[in-house]
Structure 1
Amino acid sequence: MTMFERFTKEARRAIVIAQEEARTMRHDHIGTGHVLVGILAAEEPGPGMRALLGLGVDPAAVQRYVARLGAEPYDDLDADALATVGIDLDEVRRAAEDAFGPGALDRPRRWQAGHIPFDAMAKKSLELTLRETIRRGDREICDAHVLLGIVRAQPNDATSALRALGVDLTEVRAAVERELDAGQAA
């Protein structure tokens, strides 16, 4: 049995959503931040999502944070060079965002339409997901185990997003463990 065969429906869905988010954000890889967005975007909340929501994590704020990853902000030297020929880069940015939405010029240039690979840290967190599942003696891997793997693999984009939102990672681990224990007791 492969690791992914042990994934519950919500854990599989989180990974699928992570790939969709990476593609939508025009990122060239699936990182831990995308997986975190996937956990928070599930139709049916799993214990990982419930733990995060219980800690007050705002899914939209996480998505905005992750969308900014990989964005290449323009350089002040570029703005100065364009100003010498009469182009106001801030005005161009405002016009582009009015026409195409916030952050339209911040999307990375590298992007692929087909398969999007996991980056090294996302792979590491998935390896640690399996270790967390074994440590707990659980048979299936749910979104909570994935979240435990992400927290254990810190620092990474997902843990940076959580910290930026004022979430203590020790509290995340404790909340996830409580959710998993409550699920076993039910």
Structure 2
Amino acid sequence: MFERFTKSARAVVVGAQGHARALHSHRIEPVHLFLGALDHADEHLKKALGAAGFTVDGVLADVRSQDERALKSLGIDLDTIVSTIDSTLGAGALEGAQTSLPHHLPFAASAKEVLKLSLKEAVERRDREIGIEHVLLGLVRCAEPMFTELVQQHCSLQELRSMVSLVRTS
């Protein structure tokens, strides 16, 4: 399937791995594919997504906020943990800490599904190649819960789908 990906769509996948590593994830999730798509979108698509509130920095902030809310719902306060570690081990003790991530990060089942749906989107549109827009449409079609929650902070999945489709046809 990857042979049908355009150069920019392949860059999305590579970028997703980079974002997964930066966010200390042990696998590539749909949100990482979204971040990769935001990194590599052409100017028209980037402008449309940015107008809707989807920028790399904004989505990263949303992801971190989402993670903090999830931890708090479990009764975990990250600030308290960092403060305790700093007082026990010294200020900034966590700054140089490295987590051991595998060299190659696997795709989560939901991210694999997004890539399959990207192919389906391209086939339905009779496109020979899978581009960034197909990956974005695959993300929308997959509607993975964390990605959906992230998108719905700015618009509906259908609005995102329309936005991507409009930019693609103009």
Normalising by structure 1, report the TM-score: 0.72
Who is 2:164 aligned against? 176
Is the CA contact 1:7–1:142 (under 8 Å) kept in the aligned structure 2?
A: yes
SS in 2 for 1:41: helix
Who is 2:92 aligned against? 99
Query: Matches of residues 31-46 of structure 1 in structure 2 within 5 Å?
Result: 31-42=29-40, 45=42
Residue 167 in structure 1 maps to residue 155 in structure 2:
yes
For residues 113 and 158 of structure 2, the distance between their equivalents in structure 1, rounded to whole angstroms, comes to 19
For residues 85 and 71 of structure 2, the distance between their equivalents in structure 1, rounded to whole angstroms, comes to 11
Who is 1:15 aligned against? 13
Who is 1:64 aligned against? 61
Greater share of helix residues, 1 or 2?
2
Q: Give 1:65 deviation, angstroms.
A: 3.0
Q: Give 1:68 deviation, angstroms.
A: 5.8
SS in 2 for 1:73: helix
Q: Which amino acid aligns with 1:122?
A: A
Number of equivalenced pairs: 162
Who is 2:124 aligned against? 135
Who is 2:102 aligned against? 113
For residues 10 and 155 of structure 2, the distance between their equivalents in structure 1, rounded to whole angstroms, comes to 25
Q: Give 1:139 deviation, angstroms.
A: 1.1
Q: Which amino acid aligns with 1:35?
A: L
Q: Aligned-residue CA RMSD in angstroms? A: 3.2
Is the CA contact 2:28–2:105 (under 8 Å) kept in the aligned structure 1?
A: yes
Q: Give 1:176 deviation, angstroms.
A: 1.0
Q: Give 1:169 deviation, angstroms.
A: 1.2
Could you tell which deviates more after superposition, 49-58 or 29-38?
A: 49-58
In structure 2, relative to structure 1, the CA distance for the partners of 1:93 and 1:61 (3 Å cut) is: farther
SS in 2 for 1:99: coil
Is the CA contact 1:27–1:70 (under 8 Å) kept in the aligned structure 2?
A: no
User: Which structure is larger by alpha-carbon Rg, 1 or 2?
Assistant: 1
1:31-82 CA distance string (max 9 Å, x none): 000000111122x626654442242323212113334666773765x88xxx
Who is 1:5 aligned against? 3
For residues 70 and 115 of structure 1, the distance between their equivalents in structure 2, rounded to whole angstroms, comes to 23
Residue 27 in structure 1 maps to residue 48 in structure 2:
no
Q: Give 1:172 deviation, angstroms.
A: 0.8
Is the CA contact 1:48–1:145 (under 8 Å) kept in the aligned structure 2?
A: no
Q: Which amino acid aligns with 1:60?
A: D
In structure 2, relative to structure 1, the CA distance for the partners of 1:48 and 1:122 (3 Å cut) is: farther
SS in 1 for 2:71: coil
Q: Give 1:21 deviation, angstroms.
A: 1.0
Who is 1:83 aligned against? none
Q: Give 1:23 deviation, angstroms.
A: 1.2
Residue 147 in structure 1 maps to residue 144 in structure 2:
no
For residues 46 and 117 of structure 1, the distance between their equivalents in structure 2, rounded to whole angstroms, comes to 30
Who is 1:124 aligned against? 113
